Structure 1
């Protein structure tokens, strides 16, 4: 059985070295076993891919992506930026704080960190550079702050985690609020310190009327997270139904209220959303095949025995390390599909709260979005800023340290993530 693991990993890594996308690399690594083993067939491979996506909960993923895309094309991003600019822009380093606070707000709309980078980075990185910020700093803070979009509700990763583990999605959404706010607040403090050190500019103080106008203009845009979380926690809708409501609400704002979206724009938005959704879900389907193959050769039982020997107090730190390492090389969704069956028995036996376990895993995987070689948010941000990736790593490091600090707090102080779900009765 050990030889199966080694050969799978060797084939997978070898294929990745040829720059084959992760999802195809996973499938190609599995294919020889389905061709050579009499008990495995190519038809079974296709069935396992389908079963990996055959979940009503997973329907929420394309709808949340679509809601974010509609809000983006309807210029909601501009309204969120205007609000952030009015509130924190006058502080030294204010434009960096606008970057962080807008990421928090936009993450509460789209549930996707990559959508955050694409939507905000193309506007904020050039703007920060024109205002006197170092390009490396602008790229680093944009990549790091986008991670918040995976942690604050509605989070696509939490939806997928809920489908894999049957953990309450409403409870996870609420659990992500405090860590998301702590990360955002910590990044603003880092921004202020860096701004003082490097002499970054501050903007003029806006009038009360301007602040009130920015709040009024963005109030409806901020209604999506309220609609989603309120609907799920209140028991009125499921996560999938909430995602459909988010799309309808976004269409109402874009087509009727703001009138910034035309009907002829929608086919393009639908097409781009489908393409954006297909990438992670195809990777999830491929990872389901990989996980099935591991289970077929009883590999999880070997790993479960090793994990079972870990003391309960060390289990969550182990989970964090495992998912941080995996997130460095894999997308979050396939990493979840592969490791959830391995870790589940030990987590259950140790009596770890499933919501705390989920948040530790999600934050750990989110950290992988800014760590090379995978580091998708870092890659996108660097591409937008036309900057070599490694030049953005050093200025990004203090922001990455904030994420690690909140992750440690989540492990050591369970109330950080459990208090809100308990208050809401989730």
Structure 2
């Protein structure tokens, strides 16, 4: 009964428009009052959720992404992607998807991808005759690829929660991320051909090489992260600090677009983003503690396994649950609350924790482009100056391919575990 109270309050607060972090905190506070539990539980559980050295990687990676973005990274990745695929029918839309694949490996967050790529690509696509809803849809859905690639903030959260190698998680998301991008590219091309969207001129090998050299220093950041972590040269947190230094040097002295007077604004933006994430993780940990105290994880596990113990059906039930949760809950909050709950269920059917982590992140990423709380959907629609419903209609074929890729990744573990296995 008390579990229903806290979950019901949480859903009610979200429904009336209270931010998710505060919805978590308020519902937890009311529960503690009603249950007669000392309020000291709140600061204790909040601190416990943040008391990890790895968590320091989050603000550092966010700062590195902001520095690279201010230093000219976005335009160079777009130029390189456009040189590769711009000559194909629907070239600018394909460039949008390809740019997200490159930029996602820098920012580590879908929202940063949507804002950075969208601010450049959506106006350009509309100017060339692409529909506003289609432009927003491509930008929104392609940004979900970013968190599948290093440095992925959701993967860092999972690694912290379950003491799983973050380097292995980074590698595990690579193939599914590329597979997702390929699916989006195919859908984008087919729609572009059907609607006869424009195509650009084919670039010479020299132009492609020049654009690659322009984006090289940006893309090298991903290599540095993986090489350093997997090679044992530094921890994920130390890798984040190295990336900050690297991003500053590249933006200031290589691209020469980063200005000293921009740094205070970059730091403030990083602080705001970090504060929102940290508060969310801390309060989600308190909420999760209450769920555990009320036996909700066991209840959910028993409920799923009581329906069926067939591994295929259990996997499908988990996928459906995650897709529904992703529609209503912010990704990091969902990870902190549900990963510890669902991991035992996944392990009971023989699913590897790393594999399950990739499946969970991929499922929740789809929710970033779905109403009612899809933040990437809202941001992209805002840039395109189009109604949310119009963008959602354009997203339907992308949702279909994303779910297909999710099911494939869920039932073919080697797609996630092959690369980590090479470095054991």
TM-score, normalization: structure 2? 0.96
Deviation at 1:249, TM superposition (A): 0.7
- 1:113-192 correspondence to structure 2 within 5 Å: 113-192=110-189
Matched-pair contact (CA < 8 Å) for 1:370–1:378: yes
Report the Cα distance in structure 2 between the residues aligned to 1:184 and 1:226, rounded to whole angstroms: 19
In structure 2, C-alpha distance between the alignment counterparts of 1:168 and 1:308, rounded to whole Å: 28
Moved more, 241-250 or 6-15: 6-15
Residue 167 of structure 1 aligns to a residue whose secondary structure is coil
Cα-to-partner distance string for 1:375-399 (whole Å, 9 max, x where unaligned): 1111111111111111101111212
Partner in structure 2 of residue 296 of structure 1: 293
Unmatched segments (≥5 aa) in structure 2 = none
Q: 2:224 aligns with which of 222, 227, 249?
A: 227
Runs of 4+ in 1 over 6 A off after TM superposition: none
DSSP-derived class of the 1:117 partner: helix
Map 1:11-410 to 2 at 5 A: 11-38=9-36, 40-309=37-306, 310-410=309-409
TM-score, with structure 1 as normaliser: 0.96
- Specify the SS of the correspondent of 2:200: coil
Deviations 1:353-384 (A, max 9, x none): 11111111110011110111011111111111
SS of aligned partner of 2:180: helix
Is this contact kept in 2: 1:307–1:343, CA < 8 A? no
Q: Distance in 1 between matches of 2:354 and 2:293?
A: 29
CA RMSD of aligned residues (A): 1.4
Task: Note the C-alpha offset of 1:50.
Answer: 1.6
Contact 1:175–1:419 at 8 Å: present in 2 too?
yes
Q: What SS does the corresponding residue of 1:372 show, helix, strand or coil?
A: coil
Q: Deviation of residue 206 (structure 1)?
A: 1.7
CA deviations 1:95-116 (Å, max 9, x no partner) are: 0010001000000111110000
Of 3, 7, 11, 1:9 maps to: 7
Deviation per residue, 1:26-54 (Å, 9 max, x gap)? 1111112222433x222221221121111
- Secondary structure at the aligned position of 2:351 is classed as coil
Number of residues of Structure 1 aligned to a counterpart in Structure 2: 422
- Where does the alignment leave 5 or more consecutive residues of structure 1 unmatched? none
Does the aligned pair in 2 maintain the 1:316–1:360 contact within 8 Å?
no
Show the counterpart of 2:416: 417
Provide the rounded CA distance (Å) in 2 between the counterparts of 1:299 and 1:180.
32
CA distance in 2, matches of 1:58, 1:317: 31
Alpha-carbon distance between aligned partners in 1 of 2:296 and 2:208, rounded to the nearest angstrom? 58
Whether the 8 Å CA contact 2:25–2:287 is kept in 1: the answer is: yes
TM superposition shift of 1:165: 1.0
User: CA offset at residue 306 of structure 1?
Assistant: 2.4
The Cα offsets for residues 142-162 of structure 1, whole Å up to 9 and x where unpaired, read as: 000000011122211001011
